[in-house]
Structure 1
Amino acid sequence: MPRNLNLPRLKPMTLGESSLTYVCSTWVMPKSQIQIPICSFSGTLGTKTSIEKDICFMRWRSEELISLVKSSKGIILDLRQISFETNVVLDVVPSVIRSRQYLVRVVVRPEAFDTVNGSFFTNEITTDYESIFSDLAFELKDYRLDKCRQMQERPQLPPPQLIPISLDISSIGFECYTWRYNRDVSDSGYVVFQGQYRYGSAGGEDALLIKWRLNQFCDALQPSRLIVDLRELDYQWGDDLSLYPFHFLDPESKICFILTPQQVSYYKSTIYPSNICIDEVAALRDLGCI
C-alpha cells in the first residue's frame, strides 16, 4: 500500500480479473518472415457481473500478444472454447490492429456464429479453423520470400506448427487504486510499481509490462487524474521505458510521478520535470486537489 496517509481514501482495484483462461502461440507463415499470433480463450462469457471485465481481459491479452510478435501482420482469435450466455458486442480486437489495418480472423463454434457475427467484419469471422492458415497465407502472399505475388489459388498447407508464447515477461510488481477528488465526476487513479527493472536493453520486457498495465488501468477506469508511484521500482536506465499512458499523453494532462530525490536523474529523459513530485502531498498539490 502507499506509505503516506495524506492521500484521499484509496480503494484497491483488481486489474484484468476474469474467469476466462487463455493460451498464446504464433504461426510462422511458410516461405516468409511473417508470424501470425494466435490467442485461444476458454470459459464462459456473458454473465451480467463479469461480461465487461471478460471483454477487457480478452482485448488486453490480444494486445499484449501482438506487441510481442514484432513481425506480425495480423492476429487469430480462437474462441471455439468460449461459451456465450447472451448476445454481446465483442470489443476484443485491439485498436492497434485496426489502426495498422492488420488482418483479423476470429474462429467460433457454428452454434455461436450468429451470436457474435455482428461484432466483426464479414470476412473476419469463421467456423473453419483449418482454413484460416491457407487464407492468411494467400492474403499475405506479397510478403513471401520467393515473391510469389502471382499466386492465383490458396495454398494447400500442412497442419500448422504453433510456437507457444508466454505473456509472463517480467517480475515487476503492480498495484492499483482508485480515489475521488470531490470536484470530479469520475474517479482518479493511483498506481504503484515495485521490483527490479533490468538494466538497459535487458529491461525491454519490463518496459512492455509497465506500458501494458498503465494503458489497461486507464482503459478500465478512464481516470480524471493519475498518480504513478515509482519509489519502489529499482530503475536506472532503459531506452524503451514509456510511462505516459495513452489517456495522459498531453504534457498538460493531470498526471504526476512520485520519485525519491535520488531517482530524479534516472528519469530525466522519460518524465517531464513538471510532472515529477517527491511525495503524495506534492502530487495532490500539482494536480490541483489541495
Structure 2
Amino acid sequence: MHVGFLTFAKIAKILVVSQKVSFIVELYTAWYIDHLRCYELCRNDTLDISIVDPQNLNDYTPLSLYTIQGKHYVSAKAFLLNMLFRGILAPEDIRRLQIESLPETLDAFINILKRELNLDAMLIVQYEDPTFGNELCNLTRLTDLPEERATLRIFQKHLPVPSNEPVPLNEDQLSDSTLDTASLPSTSSGESTPRRVQVLPDPFVIPKFPTDVELRLKRGNDSYFRDGSLLEVPRSMSSDILEGLAEALFAIKTHPTHGECAIVAKALVDKFPCLKEAGSTCGWYAWK
C-alpha cells in the first residue's frame, strides 16, 4: 500500500473582483491513495486568474461579506451563460429553447419567448416549481425560476380584432362597475364601437371548468366541509383551472395587475376552499 500526502482542492466560492475571477479554495490532503475520502483540511487560499472571455460571466448575486488577509470581499454566485427551457405550448407542441442570458425584467423575458418561439399573441407563462413538487405556478418574477433549466407552460391569448360590429356582452358585464365609459359607443355619431370591460369585478366570478374538474372540486368541497381535508390537485387539473381563470381574466382585462390576479386567486379559494394552500397565511398565493 502506498502511503503519501496527495493534495486535493475543492472550490468553495467563486468571486468576481476587479475584472478577475477569484477562487476560494479548500485544500485537502489524502493520507492514503486508496482512501481518497480521508481528507484533512489544512488551509484556505485564493487563486486569481484573468477572465478570458468576460461574456462567460453575465451576472452575479451578492450573498455575504467576509474578510481575507484584511481585505473585505463580497461572496458572489456566478450564473451559467446559457439557460435551457422546455416550452410546452400544447400537448403536441413541446419545444426546446436555449437563452444565452436572462434579462432583468419579466416583460423582456416574455418578448424573448415571443421572438424565439415565433409567437405574436399575449402570453401567460407558468413554470414547474420544485418547491411544490413541480406543480405549475404563474411566473411573476424571474428569480423564481430554477437554476440552469426549467419547464415552462405557455398559454397564448389572442386579442380580438376590432370591427365595426358591437361586441355582445352578458348581463354581468353590463353592470356599471365593469364598464369603461370611454369605450362605450357614441349615440350621437350613430356608429357602434366595441365595448371593452376594463374594471375587474370584486368578487371575481369564477368560470365553469371542464365537467371532470367541476366534479372533483365538488367532492373536494364536500370533504373540506366534512373534516377540513384539502384536495390533492394533480398537474393536469391545475392546468385546467389556471387556463380557465386566465381566459376569464383576459376577457375582462388585457393587462391585469398583480393585485387583480390576487383578486382572482382569492375568489377561486373562496368558492372552492378545498383548494387552499396548506401552510399559507392567505391560502391562495399558489393560485395567483
Q: TM-score, normalised by structure 2?
A: 0.23
- If asked which structure has higher relative contact order (CA below 8 Å, sep 6+), I would say 1
In our comparison, the structure showing a higher alpha carbon Rg is 2
Higher strand fraction (1 or 2): 2
